[in-house]
Amino acid sequence: MATLTGKSALVTGASRGIGAAIAQRLAKEGAEVAITYSSSAERAEQLVKGIADSGGRAIAIKADAADQNAVRSAVNATAKEFSKIDILVNNAGVLALGAIANFPVDDFEKALSVNVRSVFTATQETLRHMPDGGRIITIGSVNSDRMPFEGGSIYALTKGAVASFTKGLARDLGARRITVNNIQPGPVDTEANPATGAFADTMLGLMAIKRYGHAEAIAAMVVYLASSEAGYITGASLLIDGGFAA
């Protein structure tokens, strides 16, 4: 029996990579799924079609995570389509690397907008449509715990903010039995960070398990946290990083 039958979910930034794997797995487990995308319309529609062809239900909504009005609109479009939102997965994110001495202010503002503000905005708006017992899951980063190379301070700042927000929000929503958790992946093999990329050897040297992770493993953890079995887990930042932070 599918574990999420009757549930509806919104996954931000899900046209490819980890977000796409999460959307596919949620649908496989029976959830109705809405995904947002910023520019990859064709990929988003292919994902929706693949879910429908497998017997699921999904919609794609264009919404740049840097545009907070677009994020709000996407949440409300999801709620209108599915009548409620049981599961919110804040997946949209941007990598921000560079020396702090000359880090561009515009890049800093974009990192804040996508990695932090959109999490706040999507969460706040979703709570207007989320029944008691819902699930809020954010895809953070192991770099909130460990930043072992130069140039990552801004990225670590944004992911550290998400980890702290998770704890506070868990307290705020405990009375409604809404759980709030933060998944912190290490290096995961995606187009944006391929296991054969120029930086891969450095990453592998920092890990206990000498391979990149797979997006499907992140998706599996999302499904578990979204399930009824995980109702006693909240306020947690959960590493899935091959020992990167060990």
Would you name the residues annotated as active-site residues?
Answer: 155
Q: Are 42 and 98 in contact (CB under 8 A)?
A: no
Token digits of residue 55: 């017997």
- Cα within 13 Å of Cα(35), Cβ side: 32
- Amino acid letter for position 225: L
Q: Residue 175: what are its φ and ψ, rounded to 5°?
A: -65, -25
Other beta carbons within 10 angstroms of residue 92's beta carbon come to: 24
Cα separation of 215 and 201, whole Å? 19
Place of tokens 């891969």: 200
Other beta carbons within 10 angstroms of residue 205's beta carbon come to: 9
Cα separation of 135 and 18, whole Å? 18
